[in-house]
Structure 1
Amino acid sequence: MGTVAALYRYPVKSTLGESLLSATVTHAGLTGDRSFAVMDDTGAIGSVKHPRKWGELLRCRSRLTDGGEVRVELPDGVNLPAGDPDLDARLSKLLGRQVFVSDSAPPDSTLERAVPKYAGGVPDVVRATASVDGTGEAITVGKVAAGTFFDFGRVHLVTTSSLAGLRARWPDSDFDPRRFRPNLVVDTGDGHGFVEDTWVNCRVRVGEALFRVVVPTPRCVVPTLGHDELRADPGIMRAIAREHRVPVFDLGRLACLGVYLDVLEPGTVRVGDPTTRQDASRSGDRRATVTRQNARIRRCRLTARRPSD
């Protein structure tokens, strides 16, 4: 199927993350991934899916040190540990309101998402619930997965084939994988198609870890924003919406790129590791897949979760 071309982790939700040569994968995802988030006094979790409110977070970078400490580098180069009151003060100044870095999501916390105008950017049933907030942006409000800062998927994978296909069709846009904030980038060779669509409901071995591919990843506004040296590119999501709208649970046909993974067996994943598809025909696997998907469908109906940022 391919090999691991890149690994990424984002210790503080919605900040720039770090490129890794190897990562430990647990049932909760990559160790340290989205272990912290910025929050404000209203209970909103900082997400650049609402860029007018939280877009400055993409000018910050987080990393997990060898000693297990999460640190945040601010746009001016100041580097502080999560939990430092000075970091909270500086982030509050950057965002223009009182915020703080947290390692736990309260049960009543919310996550806001801007509603894109193009078809397939949000389920129709969710679009109907949108309201305009104080920033003038039409948004929807949902929740994160219980006890985490993940919107939905714990591990996110994109393939070079999907990116190459989009690049060939839309050469004026920049389909750098970093825009899509994946954990795993898999080099699938010279193909130009959405090969990962064929992996859904299959088991995939990546290095030592075993995953089940759950569902294509619906995309939001985030890939269009500037990431580090990557410029803002509003054409990216319109291109994906035209090229790849696929069914996601019972939410309709959504603009998707990449897939979400469940972790079946923890282990270490390294750049260069092979990615192989394995037989998932056992009845227990099928029953487990159906159970998990039905649970996700129920949650999606209530909260319309979008991909992890």
Structure 2
Amino acid sequence: MISVGRIAELWRYPVSSVGGEKLDHLDVAATGDAKAGAADPALSGVPGSRSFLLFDADTREPAAPESSERWRKALHLVSRLRPDGMAEIGFPDGTWRPADAPDLEDRLSAHFGFSVGLAETRGTGGNWPVVEPRYKASPLHILTTASMEAIRASDPASTLDARRFRPDILIQTETPAGFVENDWIGRRVVIGTLEIQVTEGTKRCGMTLAAQPGLPEQPNILRSILRGNRRNLGVYADIAVPGRVTLGAEVWVDA
């Protein structure tokens, strides 16, 4: 195996389409690995990530900030998990509301300007409705600083931040700017006790160009990804061996 870099950032996103929380470690679960914290036997990856979504309370359609202007305000919300596992949503005024707060839907509706509810993406026995996600979430999403720098090289004015791309794991690489993850597809990656198999590139959508706190709207970012790497930035992976990854851990890829 060859060393390709170290873990720079780790993220979890309890509510889909909403900002997440930066962590110092992640315990990544394998399919059906209930002891590792997977909430659903059909799910592997980061426990608790994207377990909730926002939806239109009148149409029951899930939030789609990548294609609908009225949902762009989702990018100005954040989410986190409490120690007891309850998801919370943070609002621009600095207040937080747990997923089971009686006034949460009123707060969400006031934020968006239309009726908005919170739903689970899979049934776990809670009191929330279950709404089918717009897409099937991959178990793990990985991005490198080399790929981000490749985008910056094509548009030096870009304000790049991992928050635009919603990775679970950001890897700091020492290689020149370039889409290095492309070469990992089909290969094994080992980080600490975690082993994964890289499966495919990550197709990008309109969320990458949208404004969010501290990041302006920048349409050229998506154009650069389209031209430079056929709309891919980062990679998806399946879990081969569950394990813990921590900030600063070395990342190894099969030679």
What's the counterpart of residue 196 of structure 1?
181
SS in 2 for 1:55: helix
Question: Given that residues 43 and 110 in structure 1 are in contact (C-alpha distance below 8 angstroms), is that contact kept between their aligned partners in structure 2?
Answer: no
The yes-or-no answer on 1:33 pairing with 2:9 is: no
Asked whether 1:265 is paired with 2:241, we answer yes
> SS state of the match for residue 225, structure 1?
coil
What secondary structure sits across from 1:85 in the alignment? Answer: coil
Q: How far did residue 50 of structure 1 move?
A: 2.6
Alignment RMSD (CA, Å): 1.9
Q: Distance in 2 between matches of 1:178 and 1:206?
A: 22
Listed as ranges, the matches of 1:86-125 within 5 Å are 86-105=103-122, 109=131
The one-letter code sitting in structure 1 at the alignment partner of 2:251 is T
How does the TM-score come out when normalised to structure 2?
Answer: 0.85
What CA distance in whole angstroms lies between the structure 2 residues aligned with 1:175 and 1:195?
A: 17
Secondary structure of 1:30 counterpart: coil
Matches within 5 A, 1:145-294: 145=136, 150=137, 153-245=138-230, 255-278=231-254
Per-residue CA distance 1:21-55 (angstroms, 9 max, x = gap): 10110122112111111122322112322341311
Q: Which of 110, 133, 144 does residue 135 from structure 2 map onto? A: 144
Does the aligned pair in 2 maintain the 1:13–1:47 contact within 8 Å?
no
- SS across alignment from 1:83: coil
Matched residue, 2:33: none
**Aligned counterparts of 1:241 and 1:50: Cα–Cα separation in 2:** 17
Distance 2:9 2:247 in 1: 6
Structure 1 segments (4+ residues) deviating >4 Å: 105-111
Aligned mate of 2:17, from 14, 17, 32: 14
Aligned with 1:54: secondary structure?
A: helix
Q: Deviations over 1:73-98 (max 9, x none)?
A: 11222211012231111101222222
Q: Is the 8 A contact 1:207 1:274 kept in 2?
A: yes
Is this contact kept in 1: 2:120–2:130, CA < 8 A?
A: no
| Shift, 1:188, TM fit | 1.5
Counterpart-to-counterpart distance in 2, 1:104 and 1:178: 22
Q: 2:246 is aligned with what amino acid?
A: R
**Is 1:47 the counterpart of 2:23 in the alignment?**
no
- Aligned-residue sequence identity (percent) comes to 35
Q: Structure 1: state its 5+ residue gaps.
A: 112-142, 246-254, 280-309
Instruction: Please give the secondary structure, in 1, of the residue aligned with 2:85.
Output: coil
Residue 84, structure 1, aligned to residue 60, structure 2: no
Match of 1:64 in 2: 81
Q: Which structure 2 segments of 5+ residues have no match? A: 31-43, 124-128
Aligned-partner Cα distance in 1 for 2:132–2:247: 35
Structure 2 CA distance for partners of 1:69 and 1:110, relative to 1, 3 Å: closer
For residues 90 and 206 of structure 1, the distance between their equivalents in structure 2, rounded to whole angstroms, comes to 40
Shift of the alpha carbon at 1:175? 2.4
The answer (yes or no) to whether the contact 2:80–2:87 under 8 Å persists in 1 is yes
Letter in 2 for 1:79: W
* Contact 1:8 1:20 (8 Å CA) reproduced: yes
Q: Does 1:23 align with 2:41?
A: no
Distance 1:82 1:161, change over 3 A: same
TM-score when normalising by structure 1: 0.71
